[in-house]
Amino acid sequence: MADKKTLTFALMDAPFETARTTTALRLIDIAARRGYDINVFAYEGAVFVPFALQKQHSNPVHGHPEVEEEDHPLPREWVSALIDEVMKNGGKIDWVNCGLCVDERGAGESIEGVRRGAPGDFWAMATASDNTLVIATK
Amino acid sequence: MKVLNVIATAYRATLEEQDDTVLWLTHAMKGAGAELDVLLRANAVNYAVKAQDIGRLAFGERVQKQGPRLAEDVAGLIAKEVDVYIVTEDLADRGLAADALIDGLKEVSRADMATLFDDYDHIWHW
Amino acid sequence: MADYLLIESRDPFDSNDVGQFYDLAANLAKGGNQVTLFLVQNGVLPARQCVHSDALSAVAGAGVDVLADGFSLDERGIAAGALVTGVSAAALDVVVDQLAEGRKAIWH
């Protein structure tokens, strides 16, 4: 197994808006499978990525009149699965939602494993990491 | 650890946020002890323009009391001893002469950005 | 000298800024640094022969290692075996490898 590393990711995009969200989670998935320690600083719209109230829906246009058939992706489930994957492989994950971003958006209800934080947390994470990747919004 | 925050996107939700959220984040991290500098490039060079003014923003009876003060926020970073670089060609492309801008900026050419990056441990592009 | 990982998620059809990011990659390489330009999302579009491909091949010609995310290529129906000169398909794992190595990483 590769040497354990600590990587920090800063995200900004809300889910369902841009390809950046999926690419970011793909990167985190790779790191999770390697058992790396992972920090995520979710800034602005990204605080909605682990939002607990995301809900699946059916999609008659897709020919799926039932919710189960459509199996609509929910980024909160992806994040939850990533948290499980990290732990399974001996790593740790610290997902921090920027608190002021949470407040102004009313995004307070997050899945388990997500905590509220502030810009100082991002700096502390970055300082303690082997590397940091900022995936900003446009 | 020394970081260069490169700010390129401009006027994205600045009215709702009352600031540019990356300038804000830079101020906040500086306050938390971060060692960082800023490079304004692309449309974000306009943040250095002194004459920015949003006027009155109102929706029905709801008048917005506080607006963004982007040039002041950039000047505030300079006052905190953050080096604020700005790309020469991006200013010229946008018709921005030096007398339109706040004081204290450090110009860098596009070609010299690569050399500037050597001085930092991390380059965070926003 | 340093090692750099530049990740280009945008495409030149949509953004004028992409050309400047390509130039940055080339300038960093000319400065003696080891540079990877990793294309992802719509950033892979010029890897299929098109009006913007020469600019991408020129970046490779400047000594930059130009890679295109296989997942993004598949998603857009771009055959990995038919990429323009200087561009190779790669797994996104390369990004994590190079982050882990400590390369200065810039996402565009």
Q: Where are chain B's structural domains?
A: 2-125
CB of C99 less than 8 A from some CB of B: no
DSSP element (H, E) containing A88? helix A75-88
Q: In 3D, which of A5, A9, A1 has the Cα closest to residue A92?
A: A5
d(CA B35, CA C65): 31
Mean pLDDT of C71-95: 96
Amino acid residing at B99? D
- CATH number, domain containing residue A52: 3.40.1260.10
- Strand, helix or coil at C50? coil
Q: Note the Cα A133 to chain centre separation in Å.
A: 14
Residues A133, C41: C-beta atoms closer than 8 Å? no
Nearest C-alpha neighbor of C33 from the set B117, A99, A115: B117
Residue A81 within a domain: yes
**Residue C26 DSSP code:** H
Nearest to B114 among C24, C105, C108 (CB): C24
Model confidence, pTM: 0.95
Q: Is-contact A31 A7, C-beta < 8 A?
A: yes
- Residue B87's pLDDT is 98
C23 contacts B123? CB cut-off 8 A? no
Q: Using the predicted structure, report yes or no on whether residue A2 has a pLDDT greater than 70.
A: no
Domain ranges within chain C, ordered by starting residue: 3-107
Q: Chain B contact for C101, CB < 8 A?
A: no
* Superfamily, domain B2-125: DsrEFH-like (3.40.1260.10)
Q: Is residue A21 part of a domain?
A: yes
**Phi-psi domain of C102 (left: phi exceeds 0; alpha: psi -120 through 50; beta: other):** left
Average of per-residue pLDDT values in chain A:
96
**Are the C-beta atoms of C63 and C35 separated by less than 8 Å?**
yes
Residue C50's φ and ψ, nearest 5 degrees, are: -160, -175
Domain count, chain A: 1
Domain around A68: 6-92+120-132
C85 shares contact with chain B (CB less than 8 Å):
no
Cα(A19)–Cα(B106) distance, integer angstroms: 35
Distances (CA, A) of C8 to A18, C59, C91: 15, 13, 15
Residue A10 in any domain: the answer is yes
Q: Is residue A107 within 8 Å of residue A31, measured between CB atoms?
A: no
Q: Is A114 on the interface with B (CB under 8 A)?
A: no
Alpha-carbon distances, residue A79 vs A24, A74, A94, A122, B71 (angstroms): 11, 9, 11, 19, 38
Q: Cβ(A32)–Cβ(A85) under 8 Å? A: yes
In a domain, residue A55? The reply is: yes
**H/E stretch holding B108:** strand B106-108
Contact A27 C95 (CB under 8 A): yes
Q: Is residue A12 part of a domain?
A: yes
* Least confident span in A14-18, A63-67, B54-58, B116-120: B54-58
Residue C69's CB: how many other CB atoms inside 10 A? 25
Place of tokens 């993004």: C72
Residue A82 inside a domain? The answer is yes
Q: Is beta strand B122-125 parallel, antiparallel or unpaired with respect to C3-8? A: unpaired
Going from the C-alpha of B76 to that of each of A133, B31, C45, the distances in angstroms are 26, 12, 41
Chain B residue numbers with beta carbons less than 8 Å from the beta carbon of A124 are 32
- List, in sequence order, every beta strand (DSSP E) within chain C: 3-8, 34-39, 65-69, 87-90, 104-107
Note whether residue A98 is domain-resident: no
Helix (H) or strand (E) holding C53: helix C53-61
Looking at residue B65, its pLDDT comes to 86
pLDDT of residue B121 exceeding 60, the answer is yes
By C-alpha distance, which of B109, A121, B126, A20 is closest to C106?
Answer: B126
Can you give the pLDDT at residue C87? 98
- Between CA A56 and CA B91 the distance in angstroms is 47
Model confidence pLDDT, tens digit, residues C18-44? 999 999 999 999 999 999 999 999 999
CATH class, domain C3-107, is alpha beta
Q: C51 in contact with A at a CB cutoff of 8 Å? A: no
C-alpha triplet A9, A11, A17: angle, nearest 5°? 145
Percentage of chain B with pLDDT > 90? 87
**pLDDT tens-digit map of B51-75:** 998 878 888 898 888 889 999 999 9
